[in-house]
Chains A and B, each alone.
Chain A
Amino acid sequence: MERNPTARLEQVIAAIQRRWGTHALRLLGDAATAPAVPVVPTGFAALDAALGIGGVPRGRLTEMLGTPTSGMTTIALTLIARAQTQGDLAGYVDLSRTFDAEYAAHIGVDLVSLLLVRPSSAADALEIIQALIASGGVGVLVVDALALLQSVPQDARLLEQALRVLPGVLAASPCAVLALTPLPYSPEMARSLAFTGSLLAHAASIRLHIIREAWLPAEQGPPGCHARISVLKHRLAPTKGDAQVLIRFADEVKTWH
């Protein structure tokens, strides 16, 4: 029996890893033992760096929260465009019925191969989402305003049930699911909603909060804003701080540090 506690701990860790795999237990600081998480790059170098894994993870649910005009949808569409250039098929579940095809095309989304879903009820939406993920053929699925289902008690129950099953289905799929959660304009309300009270908060592996910090001055060309993206939760890697990005709404999207 090894008397040195550190050596004994290492033996126990090795035994656990032999039995249940290296993913079962590892030291967070040990980058060498960390399994590479397959990701879809967001198209924003600063955000990819802040996430610590290089993008939005596949087989996981990522939630992004932000007020309207914070740039949340632009980031989601950029992610879709990036995924399409990598050969992935992308889907957009438009629960809020606000999908702007013209703007998506402007961002670089290939509309022909985009699977746009506008379900007529929450039950339909959850069934379609689950079926598309389980098919294994979708690389990125953006779900706009999934958290809105919580506002109707019956839909909230369906969402809760679906979120219990979803991680299992997702884990076996190469699909990166990005749920967009619009927040109210009031900063206090937004903050409270962002940090508590969401069913998605528990299910999501990563939660991002995007805040518009400043509009670009008119003389600096097309409209845009500086935004700060905070990582509220990260189950896959230690976070590397906030990301600051420059988003242009009517022109190309660039990264800014």
Chain B
Amino acid sequence: MALIACVQIPNLPIAIARRDGMAPLDRPLVLYRVEWQRAVVYAASDDTGLSPGMPLRQARVRCPQATYLLAEPERDRQVIAALAALLEAFSPRVAASERLPDPALVLDLGRMTFSQAIALVARLDRRIRAEIGLLPAIGVASNPLVAQHAARRAGTGVAVLVPLGDEAAFLAPQPIRSLALDAEILGRLDQLGLCTVGDVARLSIDALQAQFGGAGSRLYQLARGIDAAPIPKTIDAPTIRSTRRFAGPLLDRGVLERVIGDLTARLAAQLLAEGWTTGAVALTLVVDDGAPLMLERRLAEPASDAATLTAALFALSRSAVLESGVTAIMVAASDLVPEVAEQRDLFAPAGGSSQRLRDVVGRLHGRFAGSLLRARLADPEALLPERRVRLEPR
């Protein structure tokens, strides 16, 4: 299942100002800018009750106790760029919208299970906190539209994962204005008394097309949480290679396979060291007379272990027809995706069923977060039973 993550830093300019210690944490903060010789609010902390675009004079009257500072949009853009660079370590496809004060960065995580996504989100969150010093809101879903809504709903320092198939149910209670629709369509939906996404999702595509023409089918898809817009590739993921040249041409398959085994072990070690898994392997055999023989195989799922890679490369080498000796062998791992940490402590003994259970628990956790618990003996000496035992979310 391909998953999309959306990372937002809620109220980014205020978060940066707070991070940099430009204003006391316990006081409301307002950032303003001057445009057309008129000072307006650029960003304001939630406790001020002010909104961006409001005249500064009016803001000072409504919230006199706040700290007022001149905004630095360039610094905000630098932080967004740093965040995008950090996210590119997790995916080669990252799209950033610099719409302040809540910019959104969307990244394509590729094919992964829900439990893998949970582990990846935890890593992402830790790195953003450590390297950027800000608390992200992260949404994960099967498409960018739902991932962005999930991030918006998550709030500061929280991640929300929407299981596959639950997109429409997740969007249903959201106001229809949360979808990126033009004002005319929104106005007509309002007149029709359709206030939430769920209200629109209940209508047939014919009814929507009759009302809105071509835009009706787009509206039909958005209301059901369908968004097929791809995220363009922003960087090229590296390809890891390992090569060996021979003094003379070799034709012995046994020797060639031993060399391929050695090269694959080296490749796997490098993948492991750099935290990658590969989705495809390639074998290049440079033959004595003629063009190099290049063979490629896509793996059923991304892997970094030597056994899987060796099996795939051996299969490639056996399919090659060699009429002359080989002078060099190159093995390469491409289509790299970041390795996802496995949860090994709880479900270690079993095989496929434990993987399914991990997925199920991950999915249930997204829906019934407060219901799945882990009991822990906290303080055995405490007099009150509720202090002796602690129930924590699993």
A residues neighboring B (CB under 8 Å) = 87, 89, 99-102, 104-105, 111-120, 124, 127-128, 131-132, 134-138, 174
Contacts and interface: CB of A to CB of B under 8 A. Distances in A.
Contacts of B360: 131-132, 134-135, 137
B249 to A, nearest CB: 53
Nearest to B392: A116
Contact of A104 (B371, B375, B380): B375
B357 A112 contact: no
B373 A118 contact: yes
- Residue from B356, B363, B364, B385 having most chain A Cβ neighbours under 10 A: B364
A236 to B, nearest CB: 23
A116 B357 contact: no
B377 A124 contact: no
Residue of A100, A119, A135, A138 most packed against chain B (CB within 10 A) = A135
A116 B391 contact: yes
A145 B182 CA distance: 53
28 contacts: A89-B346, A101-B375, A101-B389, A101-B391, A102-B377, A102-B380, A104-B375, A105-B377, A111-B375, A112-B345, A112-B374, A113-B346, A114-B375, A115-B361, A115-B394, A116-B374, A116-B394, A118-B371, A119-B368, A124-B368, A124-B371, A128-B371, A131-B363, A131-B364, A135-B356, A137-B356, A137-B357, A137-B360
Contacts of B370: 118, 120
Interface residues of B, number: 31
Contact of B359 (A87, A112, A135, A138): A135
Given A102-B388, A111-B376, A131-B363, A137 B371 contact: no
A119 B367 CA distance: 11
Interface in B333-351: 345-347, 349-350
> Which of A89, A115, A116, A137 gathers the greatest number of chain B CB atoms within 10 Å?
A137
Contacts of A101: 375-377, 389, 391
Nearest to A105: B377
Nearest to A125: B371
A111 B374 CA distance: 7
B47 to A, nearest CB: 31
B353 interface: yes
Contact of A128 (B352, B356, B357, B364): B364
A83 to B, nearest CB: 12
Given A89-B350, A137-B347, A174-B353, A114 B374 contact: yes
A124 B371 CA distance: 9
Contacts of B377: 101-102, 105, 111
Tell me the interface secondary structure of chain B in the complex.
mixed
A117 B363 CA distance: 14
Contacts of A120: 368, 370-371
A122 to B, nearest CB: 12
A117 B371 contact: yes
Contacts of A102: 377, 380, 385, 388-389
A137 B350 contact: yes
B375 A117 contact: no
B221 interface: no
B354 interface: yes
Nearest to B370: A120
B353 A128 contact: no
Contacts of A127: 368
B210 interface: no
Contacts of B353: 135-137, 174
Contacts of B358: 137
A137 B357 CA distance: 5
Given A111-B374, A124-B368, A87 B349 contact: yes
A192 to B, nearest CB: 33
A250 to B, nearest CB: 15
Contacts of B359: 135
A111 B360 CA distance: 20
B372 interface: yes
A97 B376 CA distance: 16
Contacts of B345: 112
B330 to A, nearest CB: 41
A113 B349 CA distance: 12
Interface string B377-388: 100100001001
A117 B346 contact: no
Question: What are the 3 closest A-B residue pairs judged by CB atoms, nearest first?
Answer: A137-B357, A101-B375, A136-B353
Contact of B371 (A87, A119, A138, A174): A119
A87 B376 CA distance: 20
A137 B354 contact: yes
B163 to A, nearest CB: 11
A118 B347 CA distance: 21
B380 to A, nearest CB: 8
Contacts of B361: 115, 132, 135
A243 B376 CA distance: 34
A135 B365 CA distance: 14
Contacts of A132: 357, 360-361, 364
